[in-house]
């Protein structure tokens, strides 16, 4: 059994915030893969399903970001899970928008949700780091993560979430490379043709058009005689 946790803040006020991309990822997985309806339990919203032959529990803590570990700890104790069974989907300032990376263990880098998880379950859990970009200065971070994704963000965001859902079975089977490839297939724009197209008047002539017409070397008198033959 695996526990996948999306980090975010509860309520419609925060639903489209950059900080809530973890919630968004789980919502896509649940909707696309026939998971059970969400229900309130363990200080969060929870649902269950099967991915790649593995039973997976999805959890969206409703304790607010800085107390996420409380909810996760309750679920782990109830199902007798270890930190190695847990994968956390969270926003990542140090990755460009639409970029995704996997990580196991390590520090929390100041992320309040991860800090809470460290306090309650230790650091030996897995992470799916979802790039949202950085506002440019640390003083702007709080306002940035608690603001909604812009209209310009919607195209890459939808593709990224679709890729996560497409690769969910591979992730459940611990195939991180295949999971990341599924996301990359959605978010990487195919290289466009860079060579300039020919204009209509620059079109190369066909072989027939390229054949030169032989010059008429007959004299005027010979041309006149030939006309009346």
Nearest residue to 28 (alpha-carbon basis) of 167, 127, 136, 214: 167
- The catalytic residues are 19
Residue at token pair 């975010």 = 8
Nearest residue to 87 (alpha-carbon basis) of 206, 2, 197: 2
Instruction: List phi, psi (to 5°) of 103.
Output: -150, 145
Between CA 160 and CA 85 the distance in angstroms is 24
Which are the contacts of 228, defined by CB distance < 8 A and separation ≥ 6?
Answer: none
* Structure-block tokens of residue 50: 């099967």
Q: Count the Cβ atoms, other than its own, within 10 Å of residue 167.
A: 24
Burial bucket for residue 117 (CB in 10 Å: 0-12, 13-18, 19+): buried
Nearest residue to 87 (alpha-carbon basis) of 194, 187, 202, 179: 179
Task: State the helix-helix crossing angle for 176-187 and 154-166, rounded to 10 degrees.
Answer: 150
Between CA 154 and CA 179 the distance in angstroms is 22
């Amino acid at each position: 059994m695996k526990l996948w946790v999306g980090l975010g803040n509860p309520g419609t006020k925060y639903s489209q915030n950059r900080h809530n991309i973890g919630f968004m990822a789980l919502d896509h997985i649940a909707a696309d893969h026939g998971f059970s309806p969400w229900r309130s339990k363990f200080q969060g919203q929870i649902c269950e399903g099967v991915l790649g032959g593995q039973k997976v529990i999805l959890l969206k803590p409703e304790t607010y970001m800085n107390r996420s570990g409380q909810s996760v700890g309750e679920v782990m104790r109830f199902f007798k899970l270890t930190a190695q069974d847990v994968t956390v989907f969270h926003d990542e300032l140090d990755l460009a928008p639409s970029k995704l990376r996997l990580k196991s263990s390590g520090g929390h880098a100041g992320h309040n949700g991860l800090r809470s998880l460290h306090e309650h379950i230790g650091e030996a859990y897995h992470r799916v780091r979802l790039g949202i970009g950085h506002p440019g200065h640390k003083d702007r971070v709080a306002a940035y993560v608690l603001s909604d994704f812009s209209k310009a963000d919607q195209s890459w965001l939808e593709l990224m979430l679709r890729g996560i859902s497409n690769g969910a079975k591979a992730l459940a089977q611990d195939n991180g490379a295949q999971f990341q490839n599924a996301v990359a297939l959605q978010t990487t724009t195919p290289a466009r043709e860079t060579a300039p197209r020919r204009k209509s008047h620059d079109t190369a002539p066909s072989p027939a058009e390229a054949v030169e017409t032989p010059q008429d070397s007959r004299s005027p008198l010979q041309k006149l005689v030939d006309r009346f033959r």
